[in-house]
Amino acid sequence: MHILYILGMMGSGKTTVGKIIAEVLGYSFFDSDKLVEQSVGIPSVAEIFQVHSEAFFRDNESEVLRDLSSMHRLIVATGGGAVIRPINWSYMRKGLTIWLDVPLDALARRIAAVGTASRPLLHQESGDPYAKAYAKLTALFEQRMDSYANADARVSLENIALKQGHNDVNVLTPSAIAIEALLKMESFLTEKAMVRN
């Protein structure tokens, strides 16, 4: 495996879990949102949306994914919306894709805890941050769920919690999630090798 792409909604833990996986495997870690900020020369995604537009951000995101796709031994935390463009899949299909599937109420809770200012698609000046984030995440997820489901492997926090005998995903540590992601990757690669042989 040359590159592992971590997919998932905003706040799903792509950066947190991706860094742990990179450390375990001895791979380099890249955050595609950060690479877009560097390449555009604007320090935040929110400002890129404001100064330019979402379409401009998406074009740059595709360029970043294209450039990364020729590299080796990387873990890439993708932007939450990277799955919506088919061209991005043509780059990501060169590696392995894994979807961090986190219940929307847990996402809204994490996002409300840090505020929505850094997330232009969720930001609202007024109202309850949890309720607003939850409503927007629900609408976005409906548009995107079929795209996330194209990932080679899915890491469901609900399933990990069930396996551990809890019914609350909020007790799961990033390390437990990273371990599950590594196991899912391994089974995907084993099945792929069996189909080949």
**For Mg ion, which residue of 2, 5, 6, 15 counts as binding (CB under 5 A)?**
15
If one asks whether residue 33 binds ligand SKM (CB under 6 A), the answer comes out as: yes
String of contacts with ligand SKM for each residue 105-144, x by CB under 6 A: --------------xxx-----------------------
Q: How far is the CB of 136 from ligand ATP (least distance, A)?
A: 13
For 6, list phi and psi in degrees, rounded to 5.
-100, 125
> What one-character DSSP code corresponds to residue 82?
G
Q: How far is the CB of 120 from Mg ion (least distance, A)?
A: 14
The 10 Å CB-count burial string (b at 16+, else e) for 149-187 is eebbbbbbbeebbeeeeeeebeebeeebbbbbbbebbee
Q: Which two tokens stand for residue 115?
A: 């505020």
Residues 81-100: x where in contact with ligand SKM by CB under 6 A, - otherwise, as a string: x-------------------
Judged by CB under 6 A, the residue of 45, 64, 96, 178 near ligand SKM is: 45
Closest separation between CB of residue 168 and ligand SKM, Å?
A: 24
Question: Of 131, 128, 98, 94, which is closest to residue 17 (Cα–Cα)?
Answer: 98
For 166, the token pair is 């809890």
For residues 92 and 95, what is the distance between their CA atoms, to the nearest angstrom?
A: 6
State yes or no: residue 150 binds Mg ion (CB under 5 A).
no
16 makes contact, choosing from ligand ATP, ligand SKM, Mg ion, none, with CB < 5 to 8 Å by partner type, with ligand ATP
Positions touching Mg ion (CB under 5 A) are 14-15, 77
